């Protein structure tokens, strides 16, 4: 059966090559240069051990980017998750126009992030639509627009991100709702359970695997927030995030490849630990119930 193995190998080759050249090699490469002082124009590359990591942990620009990333992740995920669950419940019923609502909610998710960020830059600008609405409701708005103020810029971007992603997670929640067997609800009806009782003891517990999937996917994505920052503020007004820092330090100003590779690995470890914790927490709760 030698031809058999050969065929399998040949068929798999395109992926194996892509994997080695564009994933495995970069992964190992950036890990190694994270321990060197490699810069664009340096004559020699020196091994510096954990020096980059030590410097990073006292680099205020990096630390504030990291803390902005945490604000972004923890400030968006609860809202995104809860709103998308509510939307899923809303479009789960059987009524006319239901499919229209689903499409309308989902539409932002297929639109390019750059385009969305541009539209919201317009909406958030001084004298823009959102400022106008806020003033009508009696709020004071930042003088130079929401994106040009330290106190509002990051939160405005976060609000946009929630708006953009709820439709996508709504669809996933919807698929989760569909996979709950009707018999459970029928049985609950027979024993006279109230609507809220059914929600809290059938729907919510059975959605846990889907919720876990959403939390993990969304946090991995949110930890890497970059495009909206690039388009809307270029990291100004206290909006720089970890990936923006990597881009800014590594590819626009200093070209310190070794240093930012170490920064990328710090973020990598944070994302890994975070996903693992979510996974363990939700699994433990499941066994308690």
Q: Which residues between 247 and 276 bind another protein (CB under 8 A)?
A: 247, 250-251, 257, 260-261, 264-265, 267-268, 271-272
| Pattern 56-95, another protein, x by CB under 8 A | -------------------------------x--x-----
Residues numbered 12 to 51 that lie near another protein (CB under 8 A) are 12, 14-16, 18-19, 21-27, 29-30, 33
Nearer to another protein by Cβ, of 154 and 211: the residue is 211
Nearest to 92 by CA among 179, 209, 216: 179
Nearest to 140 by CA among 159, 235, 79, 151: 151
Contacts of 174 (CB under 8 A, 6+ apart): 88, 91, 92, 102
Q: How far is the CB of 57 from another protein (least distance, A)?
A: 18
CA atoms within 13 A on the CB side of 162: 20
Evaluate the CA torsion angle 21, 24, 25, 27 in order and state its sign: positive
Count of residues for the chain?
Answer: 289
For residue 97 the two structure tokens come to 């126009």
Q: What are phi and psi of 188, to 5 degrees?
A: -65, -40
Query: Among 89, 123, 134, 193, which residue interacts with another protein (rule: CB under 8 A)?
Result: 123
Q: Is 205 in the site for another protein (CB under 8 A)?
A: no
Query: Among 61, 63, 104, 273, which residue interacts with another protein (rule: CB under 8 A)?
Result: 104
Counting residues that bind another protein (by CB under 8 A) gives: 84
Q: How far is the CB of 76 from another protein (least distance, A)?
A: 16
């Amino acid at each position: 059966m030698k031809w058999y193995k050969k065929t399998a190998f040949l068929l798999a080759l395109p992926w194996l090559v892509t994997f080695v050249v564009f994933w495995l090699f970069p992964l190992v490469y950036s890990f190694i240069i994270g321990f060197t002082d490699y810069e664009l124009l340096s004559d020699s590359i020196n091994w510096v051990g954990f020096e980059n990591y030590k410097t990073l942990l006292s680099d205020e620009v990096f630390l504030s980017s990291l803390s902005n990333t945490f604000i972004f992740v923890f400030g968006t995920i609860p809202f995104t998750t809860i709103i998308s669950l509510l939307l899923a419940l809303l479009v789960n019923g059987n009524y006319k126009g239901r499919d229209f609502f689903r499409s309308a909610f989902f539409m932002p998710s297929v639109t390019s992030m750059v385009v969305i960020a541009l539209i919201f830059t317009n909406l958030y600008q001084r004298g823009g639509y959102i400022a106008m609405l806020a003033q009508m409701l009696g709020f004071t708005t930042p003088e130079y627009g929401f994106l040009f103020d330290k106190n509002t810029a990051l939160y405005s971007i976060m609000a946009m991100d929630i708006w953009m992603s709820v439709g996508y997670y709504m669809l996933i929640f919807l698929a989760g709702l569909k996979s709950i067997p009707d018999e459970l609800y029928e049985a609950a009806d027979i024993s006279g359970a109230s609507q809220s009782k059914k929600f809290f003891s059938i729907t919510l517990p059975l959605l846990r695997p889907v919720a876990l999937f959403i939390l993990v996917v969304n946090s991995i994505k949110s930890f890497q927030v970059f495009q909206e920052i690039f388009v809307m503020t270029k990291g100004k007004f206290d909006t720089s995030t970890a990936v923006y820092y990597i881009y800014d330090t590594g590819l626009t100003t200093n070209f310190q490849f070794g240093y930012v590779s170490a920064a990328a690995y710090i973020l990598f470890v944070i994302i890994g630990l975070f996903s693992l914790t979510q996974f363990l927490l939700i699994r433990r709760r499941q066994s308690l119930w």
